[in-house]
Amino acid sequence: MQRKLEISEGTDRRGEAAAGELGISLGEEGGRERGEGDRPWLVCAGALAHLHEETVRIQRFVDEEFGGIEAEDWA
């Protein structure tokens, strides 16, 4: 759903400046106010799901190699 807002020129400039400081567009800044865009990484969620088995294999290797480190060894 699209919405059209009419705001004063000064308010628009302040909004553009605030969004520019964050490195996003004014439309994205408006979305943040509504709670959207708080987690932009979710756009990619699931993109690497096909690598799950490989991730589990690598994690198992890491756990085997580094799981036995004792605190005394670092003191």
Pair 64, 57: CB distance under 8 Å? no
Averaged pLDDT for residues 54-67: 90
pLDDT (tens digit per residue) in 33-58: 545 556 666 777 778 889 999 999 99
Structure confidence at residue 49 (pLDDT): 87
Structure confidence at residue 16 (pLDDT): 84
Pair 28, 19: CB distance under 8 Å? yes
- Nearby residues of 69 by Cβ (< 8 Å), 6 or more positions away: none
Burial class (CB in 10 A: 0-12, 13-18, 19+), 29: middle
Averaged pLDDT for residues 1-13: 77
pLDDT (tens digit per residue) in 10-40: 888 888 888 888 788 776 655 555 455 566 6
Give the global pTM. 0.36
